[in-house]
Amino acid sequence: MIGRCRSVVLTGLAGHVIDVEAHVARGLPAFTIVGLPDASLAEAKDRVRAAVASSGVEWPRQRITVNLSPASLPKSGPATDLAIAVAVLAAAREVDATRAAGLVLLGELGLDGRVRPVRGVLPAVAAAVAAGHRRVVVPAGNADEAALVAGAAVTGAVALAAVLRALGADAHAESEVTVRAPAGTPPEVPPDLEDVRGQDDARLALEVAAAGGHHLLLMGPPGAGKTMLAERLPGVLPDLDDDEAVRVTAVRSLAGAFDAASGLVRRPPFEAPHHTASAAAIVGGGSGLARPGAVSLAHAGVLFLDEAPEFPTRVLDTLRQPLERGEIVLHRAHGATRYPARFQLVLAANPCPCGMFVGTGEGCSCKADARRRYLGRLSGPLLDRIDIRVHVPPASRADRPGEGSAAVAARVARARAAAAARLAPHGWRVSAEVPGPWLRQVTSRAACAGLWHAVDRGALSARGFDRALRLAWTLADLEGAGSPRTDHVAQALGLREGVR
């Protein structure tokens, strides 16, 4: 006798529908799972058997073989428990095998028969629906999340007994199957730029960074407001489009950092890992299925590294791959896992280890070489990708409150629209993505002259030339100027050379 149903396994954000097939034969009672199970799947045997018994259904006293296919796919974690239980009981004809065969089931089983929430339900259900399987059963705790997938017919299950009863079994437990629709709660109000007093240069830098997608370095003493500024960058960025919203939400689902009640994530995320965080927490990793780290949680949003020189060099070095490719590849014994990781990087740094080197440096107690070493930890290849570097001076009592985020966001949106109209035919969205040679060809000779002059003076490197040129285009877009003039170039040099 054979029982079948389906489940989904994830590699990175990619979901694969798998067939769960159970075979029940006469012979000495045994329970085998085949199809590349890892250690946690072996534990699944105990959970499944105990959960079935706790649901008041007799475990078949026969020779049971469960096959998860395709066998080539690495399978990890407890999300296939529920499907294994249902397939076994379908094979034993304890539940309706035909109805079971039409279901995709996800969920971890507790020994008491409870259906526990699992990670990654959103990408898993999206994969099931994309493969033509609309009827999905998920843990009740994940039902809101699953219901975000258009076209999914979601059943949220509290207990195995309820699932079995719905499939015709005589199962009993104090539980029920519930179907839930996503609840709409208003999104959290992000911090506003009007809270930032003074800091005209840094505010301009933030606006330009938002408009052109440029990475940003903020340098200044502790308490100057670097973190306040960085936290306000997502608030002036445009909403995520539908594809990005699903991707950003799916990464959070997989990381277990997702609140289903607020629906799809529509605003650019902000991630600020501490410098003591593990490399796995920042780039992703862990045993078994590699989990997304901060670089992926920041996808389509902002990754903020406060006190950037304090991060271990090997962690800073791992940022180069996502900065270049917009994704991170995590290598594991059973293969590579890819996660999206296209973020806007904001680094904050004190001017020296003691933090007090401001102006002439009178308040600083650091030796010159200690100061050099400190900033030297931000390696050249990383700094090369940072278009904007500005000083954030200590706050002063005379500082006035600034413009609010809404007004800045409106200018950013206009500038982005202008850039997109020019760049979209070439496959780029913002100036920061445009290669230097192409940009040099489309810039007027007069505008370029100011930059060549800076190169001749030795004030600008060849790489610095392209970065300043990208900034000049973004400044022109913010002004609606069509193309950069010499004053945009001068302003760009200021943003670029703000920190030596």
Enumerate binding residues for Zn ion (CB under 5 A): 352, 354, 357, 364, 366
Q: How far is the CB of 354 from Zn ion (least distance, A)?
A: 3
| Single-letter code of the amino acid located at 36 | L
By beta-carbon proximity to Zn ion, the closer residue of 179 and 370 is 370
Q: How far is the CB of 388 from Zn ion (least distance, A)?
A: 24
Q: How far is the CB of 307 from Zn ion (least distance, A)?
A: 14
- Provide the angle, in degrees to the nearest 10, between the axes of the packed helices 121-130 and 242-255: 130
- Provide the angle, in degrees to the nearest 10, between the axes of the packed helices 462-479 and 200-212: 90
Q: How far is the CB of 396 from Zn ion (least distance, A)?
A: 20
By beta-carbon proximity to Zn ion, the closer residue of 364 and 412 is 364
By beta-carbon proximity to Zn ion, the closer residue of 356 and 481 is 356
By beta-carbon proximity to Zn ion, the closer residue of 8 and 352 is 352
Q: How far is the CB of 500 from Zn ion (least distance, A)?
A: 16
Kind and range of the H or E run holding 340 = strand 335-340
Q: How far is the CB of 400 from Zn ion (least distance, A)?
A: 29
Q: Degrees (nearest 5) of the Cα angle 171, 172, 174?
A: 145
By beta-carbon proximity to Zn ion, the closer residue of 370 and 424 is 370
Virtual torsion, Cα 38, 40, 46, 49, nearest 10 deg = -80
Say how far apart CA 207 and CA 399 lie, in whole Å. 19
DSSP string, 85-101: HHHHHHHTTSS-HHHHH
How many Cβ atoms sit within 10 Å of the Cβ of residue 448?
18
Burial (Cβ within 10 Å: 0-12, 13-18, ≥19) of residue 338 = middle
**Alpha-carbon separation of residue 137 from 19, 101, 142, 209 (angstroms):** 15, 12, 10, 44
By beta-carbon proximity to Zn ion, the closer residue of 14 and 370 is 370
By beta-carbon proximity to Zn ion, the closer residue of 368 and 449 is 368
Q: Phi/psi of residue 346, each to 5°?
A: -120, 120
Q: How far is the CB of 397 from Zn ion (least distance, A)?
A: 24
Q: How far is the CB of 276 from Zn ion (least distance, A)?
A: 21
By beta-carbon proximity to Zn ion, the closer residue of 339 and 357 is 357
Question: What beta strand segments (E) does 73-146 contain?
Answer: 104-105, 108-109, 115-116, 135-139
- Dihedral sign for Cα 369, 375, 377, 380, please: negative
By beta-carbon proximity to Zn ion, the closer residue of 90 and 366 is 366
Q: Which two structure tokens, joined as six digits, stand for 96?
A: 């309706």
Q: Which residues of 238-272 are buried (b: 16+ CB within 10 A; e: fewer)?
A: eebeeebbbbbbbbbbbbeebebebbbbebbbbbb
Identify whether 322 is preceded by a cis peptide bond (ω within 30 of 0).
Answer: no
Q: How far is the CB of 298 from Zn ion (least distance, A)?
A: 30
